[in-house]
Structure 1
Amino acid sequence: MVSMTKIIFMVITALIAFGLPIVLGIVFCKKFGGTVKAILVGGLVFFIFQMVLRIPLLQVFSKQDWYVAMAKNHLLLAIFLGLTAGIFEEVGRFLGFRFLLKDRLNYGNGLAFGVGHGGIEAVLLVGLNYINYIIFALLLNKGLINQVFAGKISNDMISEIVKMLVSTPAYNFLLAGLERAFAITIQIALSLIVLLAVRNKNLLYLLIAILLHMLIDTPIAYMAMNGVNVFILEGITFLIALASLYFIIRMKDMDKVTNEVEL
């Protein structure tokens, strides 16, 4: 059986993953002059540069001897994953702003791009999975899981999913939603930095975004690989999100500045 608390937390996380980007998108478009196009471009950039390019490339790398050797060292692996995430995502952002939003380089579209980027990430990596978790949990509690998925999913896979749902602490299902909220905030801040690179025609901002992305991802990945408590990981992510929120608020007057904006 999966406790009702776990199911409620799953529902909350699914609502955050799907609902928060929608709410933020509406606010950014109505209040800050963002556009639906910027949201869609942000989502498209994440999908292409992460789901289509980086992740399949990492899967190819994972079969190479050099990668297998590197993966034995958690620090090197974490740095590699953080750096590649930074390069692919930030270069993707730059190209999105430079070629698809070149006539809409305002603060509101920076926000909208970020919520599109972080929003599709939340939906693809968390939201869809949590919809499945909810369905599995409800079917498991009704004793219908084997009947419904017989012949569609292997018994071993069903057993693994059931084991995960039953053994995972309830709070983990809620923390996943909070982590997505933090991640979206960070993605918006990074989008604004790359927006500065395009607006000011200064690639230094792009380099800063890549390095910041790596510096955010690498320690989190390294600590996760070494079994650091999830509350510590999410606490660190929360602090980074707070710093990102401060930066986002600080940049709200960027459209009023005609010369180069200082970070």
Structure 2
Amino acid sequence: MVSVTTLACLTISTLLIAAMPVVLLRKLKPRFGFERREVILGIAVFAFFSMIVERGLHGLVLSNATTVGWLANPVVFVAYGALAAGVCEEVGRFIAMKWLIARQPHTLANAGTSLGYGIGHGGAEAWLVGVFVQMQWIVYALLANNNQLDEHFTSAPLESLMRLHMVLGNLSPQYAALFIVERAAAFVFQLGFSVLMWQMLRERFRYTLPAMIAAHALISLPAAAFQARLIPLLAADAVYLVFGLIVVRALLRYFRTGGGRPGAASPTLHPEH
């Protein structure tokens, strides 16, 4: 039985995360002059490189007895999880941004382009990894409260059904609060990664891709450490809350000082070759 209070908190947290990218898109698009195609490109890149390529990589690794044995070591598991996320997402982001620059070189002068892309990339993550999953748990909770959950999973193994009931039993308002922290921080990081990569490309930094992979992998470490049961969830979320606030402050300062205005970049900048 999931309490009404918990269901209300889960619903509110889901609606807040669902609305976050939509509200930002509507408010920031007129101000920073990015286009819908940049937002759509961000959505497509996350959907393909994270939901298909990265999951395909995990399936390949977990289908091999040797690599499964290596992953039994928590340190190897954490390193692999962090690097897999960094490589897959940042390669996709890099390809997308290089394509944008090659297609319309003048957009390089507008860091707002990266903001539009980041809203798409981060928004796709918020919905695909957060909102849809949370909605699923809300539906399961409603079924459980109406004593209909078991009959909807008659073909499921008993162990899986017991695990489902255990997760539902652990749902709480605190879980809803942590969900907001995790998803909002992840969204902010995607904005930060997008703006940072775009700025590196504007400055023609030679090691943009390796640097971004390393940065993404570092941010992924707490989540991977939690999955490896090396740290508690509360500790991982505390790290993300602190760093998320730092990234928000950095983004606000960057755009307030003119970094995101069309034409703010040096007119001598050209796309990388």
Counterpart of 1:207 in structure 2 is: 210
Deviation of residue 73 (structure 1)? 1.5
Deviation of residue 140 (structure 1)? 1.9
Matches within 5 A, 1:57-76: 57-76=57-76
Given residue 59 of structure 1, which amino acid in structure 2 is its aligned partner? G
1:224–1:233 CA contact under 8 A, matched in 2: no
1:18 lines up with 2:18 in the alignment: yes
TM-score by length of 2: 0.86
Deviation of residue 14 (structure 1)? 1.5
2:50–2:88 CA contact under 8 A, matched in 1: yes
2:185–2:241 CA contact under 8 A, matched in 1: yes
2:77–2:228 CA contact under 8 A, matched in 1: no
Matches within 5 A, 1:110-125: 110-125=114-129
1:160 lines up with 2:163 in the alignment: yes
Q: CA RMSD, aligned part only?
A: 2.1
Deviations 1:124-180 (A, max 9, x none): 112111111111212222233345x266x5363444323311134441233112210
Counterpart of 2:144 in structure 1 is: 140
Deviation of residue 70 (structure 1)? 1.8
Matches within 5 A, 1:35-46: 35-46=35-46
- Secondary structure of the 2:120 match is helix
For 1:246 and 1:208, the matched residues in 2 are separated by 21
Given residue 136 of structure 2, which amino acid in structure 1 is its aligned partner? N
Deviations 1:63-85 (A, max 9, x none): 21332122122112211221121
- Secondary structure of the 1:34 match is coil
For 1:150 and 1:87, the matched residues in 2 are separated by 37
1:12–1:177 CA contact under 8 A, matched in 2: no
1:93–1:150: structure 2 CA closer, same or farther, 3 Å change rule?
closer
1:13–1:177 CA contact under 8 A, matched in 2: yes
Counterpart of 1:173 in structure 2 is: 176
- Secondary structure of the 1:136 match is helix
Deviations 1:20-47 (A, max 9, x none): 1111111221222122211111111111
For 2:146 and 2:223, the matched residues in 1 are separated by 38
Deviation of residue 6 (structure 1)? 1.7
**Identity value in percent:** 25
TM-score by length of 1: 0.89
1:159–1:224: structure 2 CA closer, same or farther, 3 Å change rule?
closer
1:66–1:218: structure 2 CA closer, same or farther, 3 Å change rule?
farther
The worse-fitting range, judged by mean Cα deviation, of 23-32 and 169-178 is 169-178
2:226–2:233 CA contact under 8 A, matched in 1: no
1:43–1:116 CA contact under 8 A, matched in 2: yes
Unmatched 5+ stretches in structure 2 = none
Counterpart of 2:2 in structure 1 is: 2
1:193–1:40: structure 2 CA closer, same or farther, 3 Å change rule?
same
- Secondary structure of the 2:207 match is helix
For 2:197 and 2:173, the matched residues in 1 are separated by 37
